[in-house]
Amino acid sequence: MHTFSDSGISVRDNITLSVSRKILPLKHIILAFTAALGCYGGMFTFLSYFEFSINKAMLIMYMTAFFIIFTVILNLPGRLKLLILPASILYETIFVRQRELFINGFKSIYNVMAQRLRITGEGIMYYRIDADVDQTLASTSFFIFAGFIYMLVITYAVYCRPHFIAGLLVSFAPVEIGLYFGLKPSYPAFIAVAAYWAATVALGVSGCRDGDSRSTAGFIRKGNDFYAKSHIKFSTGEFTGFITIVATVLIFAAAMLFVKFSGYERSEKIDNLRSNIKTAVSEFTIYDVPASMNRISTSFGNFSAAPGKLGQFSDISYKNETDLRLTFDRKLYSEIYFKCFTGSYYSENQWNDFPKSVYKDNQQLFDLMQANNLYPQDFLNFSAAAVPDSAECMVKVSQLAKNPRYLYLPYGADTSGFERKRDSSVKSDTLREYSTSFQYIGSYEDFLSSGCSEKTDISESFSETEQQYREFVYNNYLQIPDNHDVNAVRQKYSGVIENCSGKSYEDVYSVMNRIRNVIAFDTEYTLSPGRTPATRDFVSYFLLENKKGYCSHYASAGILLARMCGIPARYAEGYIVTDSDFSFAVQNADGSCTIDVKDSRAHAWAEIYIDGFGWIPFEFTPGYDAGIVAAETTAPPKVTVVINETVTETAAASETTGQAAETSVSEEETTAPASETSSVSSDTSQTQSAGGFVSDDRNNNSKNSLLTVIILSAAFIVIIISAFLIRRQINTNKRRKSFATENSNQNAVNAYLYMITLLGFLGIENNSNMTYLDFAEYAEKNSGFFHNGEFVNATKTALESDLSNHQISEKDAEKVVRLAEKFAAHILSAADVKQKFYLKYISNFI
């Protein structure tokens, strides 16, 4: 201890300033009020979104009892707080005994939510519940059991130690689930829970309850500074929380008054963007994260599609933006399908390639294709060229969508200059503009009739390859899932399936037409069919329960029924161009014509295999079978959301012509694009209002728009940022793993393809069909990174890895991988802030 004497005054070095400890009843009242806001505000906000069949009086009674019990126990001193354990054990005991009631309550509540959110069709229950179950009692019991845990966490986060994160984790979910789907909350309940969030932040920052068990209060000295101990801060902590609650309520009230009296109205641009984002986020599903992430990205701009399950989105609409620009060397007079994706194997509500084992077991066939440089993608070109009077045309394709993964080519195209993916698609990670010749086929039935009687000059290599591939087709393209749902479809349509015979194209078309007619008779075409429940098969749900769908539904259903009839069929996606499009095409000076293909022309259809000819398109969607698709000549509609159903769809099945389910559509309906466009917009709006997707007063909601924007923005920003970060982490890990597999050849190829992608970002692309090595030299000269021969050697290693049976050394593969990683680091370091953001979080290239 040091004593300083100066002018007769002695000062001790360990100065302590103290105040008397006062615990006022007011502090408990304020804390209880804060906890009540969180408990009741969160619960009643959630209840305001839906019309549950519950006993509200019973629920409020139990909630109040829980609140009083937790308030008393958690404010007891010291270890007496452990009395909460017997209460929790009693709760667990009752829960175990009544778990069936809890489960039925969950099912009943989810069914109500599914109807309100249009996850299921009207009148269709997501979960089946026995008729003898009292759903009101079950639903009320569920909320009581869930409310016990909810209120325990909320009260603990206030009384024991103010903890904003813990309280937010449990109270944000019931609030966000409604905002997530664009529902309107009860404003008093929402303001209450928002005030609770603000108050818990203030209580935590002010030090409320810090060191509450200490017996002394006062100041402590650190150096020459004095700091208040917890109990001095404690006297202001609860008051700070109360002031924050009052301020929060006043801010909300002021915002609502401002909107009401200022006449503020949102601009149409903000309305469209808000609608895009809201719908994209509302359709997010854990069952298909890639497609959901792609839809969120699409809401901000024109991004490429990602693979996804069918039926995960409740409705389809479009932006009326140009996705493809096609330049034909002449005017044509029938619809033309431009395909980019082919689905061969149907499983878990998704069309994909066959499992790798299927291709491995038939490797000899694909070796023959490679030796003859003749793939099934070329069969129609060969067979059509052998028919007298066939017409060879040219088309130039410009892909305006970003990051194309596949090429869009017409049937009968010459694909020999492109990279063919097994027996289905033509792939490219870099080409955005390309040209090809194709055999123009007007009517496929007329073509098959002529081909069967007049086909000449078929080469021996074509006949050999087609014969062997035909065996592969019949062994694999008749597969259907063996489960209860698909078997129910088989039983339902047994009358069609059992009356099939013959393999001639006439017999095949007869069966296919019967399938098309019976599907059209049983179902209704709509852009808003609702989601397919995760517990249902996509096709079975469409045909047997919901009976509403768009082109993906019709194509998938038709394909499965065709396979049941012994007709090889598969799924295709792309765009459709009709004869009416040529009427509005831009005529060029050289006689060619240019057509801008809108996103509304994205389509899904079936392919059937005709022996000796190859795969040809077949239309199951009502209206499309007659080529009835109106040209888009009007101004863009107000419906602005684009849905990506699977790999290629910018608007999977976004048939915006609004056809009815009848197999014939009047000419008047199909030649008035303006009225059709408006009808789609109107129908979508009406469906959403009727289904409860948005509030009933949506069109009169401009007075509350500012408040709504604030609420939605706060909720969505967190979700969107998290989603982008998770997406980047997943893609980055996936890329790293692709460089470190047990197969050194595959590692080298993957690293090479990664460098090709990075070169594409720099604008260095092989648009002139250069050889791999020529392109490598070109890239070295223009990249500003590679040393002489560095990328050429990497290309040679990749070619050796991919095209030969030689196993390269791990050292050679590591060289390519390291070069790719260094190239990526170089691009990132040279990029500006905007480019770095795009590389890391939008494209995930780095």
Q: Under a CB-based contact definition with an 8 Å cutoff, are residues 580 and 631 in contact?
A: yes
Q: What is the pLDDT of residue 563?
A: 92
Give me the mean pLDDT over the 548-566 stretch. 91
CA–CA separation, 279 and 226 (whole Å): 55
| Whole-number percent of the chain with pLDDT over 70 | 70
pLDDT tens profile 447-462: 777 666 555 566 777 8
> Which residues, other chains included, contact 519 with Cβ-Cβ below 8 Å and sequence gap of 6+?
543, 554, 557, 558, 561, 620
Q: What are the structure tokens assigned to 20, written together?
A: 């008397």
Q: What is the pTM of this model?
A: 0.51
The least confident of 3-12, 528-537, 636-645, 710-719 is 636-645
- Nearest residue to 610 (alpha-carbon basis) of 501, 466, 484: 466
Does 305 have pLDDT greater than 60?
A: no
pLDDT tens profile 808-821: 888 889 999 999 99
Does 631 have pLDDT greater than 80?
A: no
pLDDT tens profile 196-249: 887 777 766 655 554 444 444 455 555 555 555 544 444 445 555 566 666 666
- Local confidence band at 689 (pLDDT 50, 70, 90 cut-offs): very low
Q: Is residue 403 packed enough to be buried (19+ CB in 10 Å), middle (13-18) or exposed (0-12)? A: middle
Does 532 have pLDDT greater than 60?
A: yes
The least confident of 169-183, 259-273, 357-371 is 259-273
Q: Is residue 750 packed enough to be buried (19+ CB in 10 Å), middle (13-18) or exposed (0-12)? A: buried
Q: What is the pLDDT of residue 657?
A: 35
- Nearest residue to 479 (alpha-carbon basis) of 340, 614, 351, 309: 351
CA–CA separation, 234 and 212 (whole Å): 8
Indicate the Cα dihedral angle 274, 276, 280, 283, nearest 10°. Answer: 90
Q: What is the pLDDT of residue 447?
A: 77
Does 392 have pLDDT greater than 50?
A: yes
Does 486 have pLDDT greater than 60?
A: yes
